[in-house]
Amino acid sequence: MNVGSRPAEQDLTAVPAHELRRARLMLLLVGLVVPLVLSGVVLALVLGWLPELPDPAATHWGPSGVDGFGPPVMFAWMTVLLGFVLPALLTITTLIGLRGRWGGAARLLGGLALGISGLSAVVNLSAVGSQRGVADAGGAPDLGWAMIWAFGAFVVLIGLGWLVQPHVRPAPATPLQPAHVAAITKGERVVWLATATMSRTAIGVIAAVVVLIVGITAFMAIRFTDRMWVPLLTLALLGVAFASSTAFRVRIGPEGFSARSLIGFPRTEIPLDEVVSVRAVECHPFGEFGGFGWRLGLDGRTGIVLRTGPAIEIERRDKRPLVVTVDGADVGAGVLQAYLDARGGRGAQNGASS
């Protein structure tokens, strides 16, 4: 196997500086400034209404009516945390994670931040407003219609946030050059194996979420023993998701391409006959897919994207293109291209030839 030289890395999601500045400014406006103003107005109303609420106030509604109580000031904290802090964290994380790169995922996350703020505003105003002048919180009116309106506001504001942000098209960039692999002759068998692992940053974020869920579980074990199944189920699902997405075994051989989680699922296989083209690319999961893991990109691609760096991109017949981040992607792409060439060279026209 002969490995050729590799050109300087190109950024597939780089955008012109003036477009990037405009996109970042609009993201700040949609995901930070508007939620701050909206939450400020809601907080002022909530604080003004708190003296009229029963103490304790109704804080949770179930199928049979009010089933949870707490101090009225809890609504003020919820307004701040859900209406502003959470959208602000989402926006700031997006800006830091993308830096000089951009894509549809950033635009969607900005809209999501605005939608969360609107959802919080409707829920908190409805919960507080419906209890003004009520002597006993147990008789507080149901919030069924308010939750429908809140969800409607959530969806509409996500769409509005998407529309007001500019549609930034990444500048064209040259893909990474795959390593040169000598032609595979009939009867010869070459297999390339690698392990795609999640980045330390992503593992750290997931670990922080696990710690948070464990804390919530402990709290509910003390306060609400009848609802323990909620955090326990969440923790179990989170554990399965973590175990199934931190690392994948990637295999390229005469049968084609396969990627399988270390615990056996999920997995995907692409027979050689379904491969249209293959190339090695530089992938930025946050900018292109909105995060890490098994993802669907807004550009129509599927990604097993666990870290920033080299990736194998495979165009499939009648299916979404697949992107898998893995070290040595240039060699893997070269091996798969050699099999394509041996089959008849049907994928060489898309930049995968050495």
pLDDT of residue 246 exceeding 90, the answer is no
SS3 of residue 71 by DSSP: coil
Residues 191-238: tens digit of each pLDDT: 899 988 887 777 777 777 667 666 766 666 566 556 666 667 766 777
Helix (H) or strand (E) holding 259: strand 256-261
Q: Which of 126-130, 182-186, 238-242, 289-293 has the highest mean pLDDT?
A: 126-130
**High-pLDDT (> 90) share of the chain, %:** 25
Q: Over pLDDT 70: what percentage of the chain? A: 77
Q: Is the dihedral of CA 26, 30, 35, 37 positive or negative?
A: positive
DSSP H helical ranges for the chain? 17-28, 34-49, 74-80, 86-98, 104-129, 144-164, 200-223, 229-245, 285-289, 329-343
Query: Residue 172's pLDDT band (boundaries 50, 70, 90)?
Result: very low
Q: What is the pLDDT of residues 98-135, one digit of tens each?
A: 665 676 777 888 899 999 999 999 999 988 888 888 87
Return d(Cα 309, Cα 329) in angstroms, integer: 9
Structural domain boundaries in the chain = 17-164, 191-197+246-354, 199-245
Q: Which of 10-14, 80-84, 135-139 has the lowest mean pLDDT?
A: 10-14
Asked: is 191-197+246-354 a CATH 2.30.29 domain? The reply is: yes
pLDDT at 167: 78
Distance CA 49, CA 42 (A): 11
| Across 301-322, average pLDDT | 89
Cα angle, residue 14 at apex, residues 106 and 308 outer, rounded to 5°? 70
